[in-house]
Structure 1
Amino acid sequence: MELLETLATENDKIWPTEKWPAMKFKNGIRTGANGGHGPIRYSVEKYEPNEIIQFRFSKPEGFNGIHKFEILYIRFLS
């Protein structure tokens, strides 16, 4: 399983569950899915496996904007 695909699963290798409530989505992560962690709610705005997961905040009131996890590949030329 690729790194981003572990997010919000029992084998989550990204989310700091030792410090924050676990990220949960009823039917898994996919574009349009709603979920969150604790009182923080958001929807999946963009999801490209092994590249990017972008969330848009919906709650609590006053939380505006996005957060995302993105994998960037850097290629070094010799």
Structure 2
Amino acid sequence: MEAIYRIIEEKIAQSGYTGVVDGQEIYDEICDEIEDKENGSYIFMSKKEDDIFFEYKIDVMDDEFNLSYIDINSPQGKFHIDFDAE
């Protein structure tokens, strides 16, 4: 799991976002949010601070999920992190 957390953190850093992020916290938040959801695509927002919020697009499947992207909206601008792009 540590590798997944690190990938989340690295991709966010590569986007140019300089705020503090915790891959495990993001992963756990997603898991909590999608618990008991039916299969399908979902977008949800998470307020991190007064002026920063994250938008997640997640595809929920039977036994797994796919984090498609995170958009970070902050005073420095909007940062798009595409996890489906190679």
- Report the TM-score, using the length of structure 1 for normalisation: 0.42
- In terms of fraction of residues, the more strand-rich structure is 2
- In terms of fraction of residues, the more helix-rich structure is 2
- If you compute each CA radius of gyration, which structure gives the higher value, 1 or 2? 1
